A and B are shown apart, each in its own frame.
Chain A
Amino acid sequence: MAEDLQKCFGEFVAVNGVSFTIEDGEMFGFLGPNGAGKTTTLRMVQCTSPKTSGMLEVFGMDASTHQREIKTKMGVVPQENNLDPDFTVYENLLVFSRYFDIPEADARERVDELLDFVQLTEKKDTMTDTLSGGMKRRLILARALINRPRLLMLDEPTVGLDPQARHLMWDKLKGLKKEGVTIVLTTHYLEEAAQLCDRLVVMDHGRILVEGSPDQIIREYIGTDIVETKSDPKTIVCLDRQQARYEIIGDTVQIYTNEPQHITDHLLTECDLTTITARAVTLEDVFLNLTGRKLRE
């Protein structure tokens, strides 16, 4: 869908030549630290921000010339909530349906259905600013579904939600995927990405670093397991002798491997190590490994 896509704000290059293709019916994730360019990329696909250069096609149509047609078939959950505070929950959805030219009778039916789907039927006459964070997010999801989109774009759909609300959102997304909706999301929650996404990319500094299924990415970049132990000079020397792949983080050493049993035995016998833990690699390890541990703003 996108090839060598670029976006500049003045001199600053926010998205620097990314290429990706999203298949029909899959769940596709954009991961990356703050400022990586995820939102900017999504906004170009949503036709709300023009690209600086490159090629971008959505549903086989050029995003810069067919924005109305593309937007008709797309649902958008923005990073920041932008519900209409002048209206109630019900009215928010109804007013939105008019932007898509949905006939009123159909729209009312659809609104009832969606309120039920996101479990907000009881709140339908409430003004939106009194809703909790999770409710607002769910209402925005319902709003994005008003036009029965083929493609749903979610920018950090679960940010700031408690675990209950987060799991509810995941369930809804899985349900939508089963119905055949293509879903694109960005997230900070790596567990979320690993669980939900068929394929994902990790972005940083406006570039795509890796692309693939969560398992594939983990295996390719680190290995299946991590063995952790206390860091001291003797251990390091020993590890160097074994030519192990490792990283020192604070006062622990992480050793990357595909054969944890083998390594553990080896370390215990050869390197005189006492405290060793082995665990499966998560996407978070890959993420930190790829994007570094320095704090982003």
Chain B
Amino acid sequence: MNIGLYFKVPNISFRALRVWQRNKDVFMKNVKLNFLPPFIEPMLYLFAMGFGLGMFIEDIDGVSYARFIAPALIAVSVMYASFFECSYGSYVRMHYQKTFESIIATPLTIEDVITGELLWGATRSMINATIMLPVIALFGLIDFPHSLLIIPFAFLAGLVFAALGLCVASVTPNIMSINYPILLFIMPMFLFSGTFFPLHVLPLPIQYFALAALPLTHVVIVIRSLTFGILDVSLLFNLAWMVAVCLILSVLAVNMMKKKLIV
């Protein structure tokens, strides 16, 4: 096996945006339905965990439990939006609808198609974050204007999880098997990335592992910092980690898909 094949610079053009546009048009057909989850979910979580469970929890690191988990809710939604869009969603478009196959008969390359999918996945993350911000702000749990930076950041974070989703879609033998990476990677990440309890209560090796290998850890750190109204230099480290991983995973996703579909 030739590793270099997986990290080849992809042949991408502006036409990738046409694929983004196609997915956006489908999304807009059911726009009300699509806007509902990011609107309702944070309220449910905040009532149940923030204010319900939170009654029994003392302040964490000096903030109320609701204020502690509010940014995590955004981070998790950012992760789920693009990961599901680019795992289940892309798999359905690729395998059942043969959408990719029909598009590569036009001047677009498979690299354009996958890039369009990545950009769209990231856009969904950004949309979710954008809808959640005012809802959570209603509860007075986040600081402005810093929190507005979450919107562009959600796009970058969304790209990472979109690329992850596409890598999964490219290797999964069937749609049911997408459950395995969710169970083994996404779920643990959901729970152990400093989302619902601070990272520092975990054993040190696990803390290091979370920082080294779990993208959500970095997303939570950055978003939490922003909702607290803090802009620290240390965030640059998280940002750099995200950018690097995003680049690697995106190139990997494009090449894995190309290898699968162009035979």
Enumerate chain A interface residues (CB-CB to B < 8 A).
Answer: 9, 46, 48-50, 67-68, 71-72, 74, 76, 78, 80, 82-87, 91, 95-96, 98-101, 147
Contact = CB atoms under 8 A, between A and B. Distances in A.
B263 A9 contact: yes
A67 B97 CA distance: 24
A106 to B, nearest CB: 16
B15 A48 contact: no
Contact of A100 (B13, B29, B107): B107
Contact of A84 (B18, B97, B109): B97
- Would you call the interface of chain B mostly helix, strand, loop, or mixed? loop
B244 interface: no
**9 A-B pairs with least C-beta separation:** A82-B98, A99-B106, A76-B105, A82-B102, A86-B26, A68-B107, A98-B18, A72-B107, A71-B107
A82 B97 contact: yes
B104 interface: yes
A84 B18 CA distance: 14
A91 B109 contact: no
Given A50-B262, A76-B105, A98 B21 contact: yes
10 contacts: A67-B109, A71-B106, A82-B98, A82-B102, A83-B102, A87-B25, A91-B25, A98-B21, A99-B106, A147-B106
Instruction: Point out which of A46, A86, A99 has the most chain B C-beta atoms below 10 A from its C-beta.
Output: A99
B101 A82 contact: yes
Interface string B21-48: 1100110010000000000000000000
Contacts of B105: 46, 48, 71, 74, 76, 78
B109 A80 contact: no
Interface in B88-137: 97-99, 101-109
A83 B98 CA distance: 8
A78 B101 contact: yes
B40 to A, nearest CB: 24
A177 B132 CA distance: 56
B26 A99 contact: no
B94 to A, nearest CB: 11
B26 A87 contact: yes
A86 B29 contact: yes
Given A86-B29, A87-B26, A48 B99 contact: no
A72 B107 CA distance: 5
A80 B107 contact: no
Contacts of B18: 98-99
Contacts of A46: 105
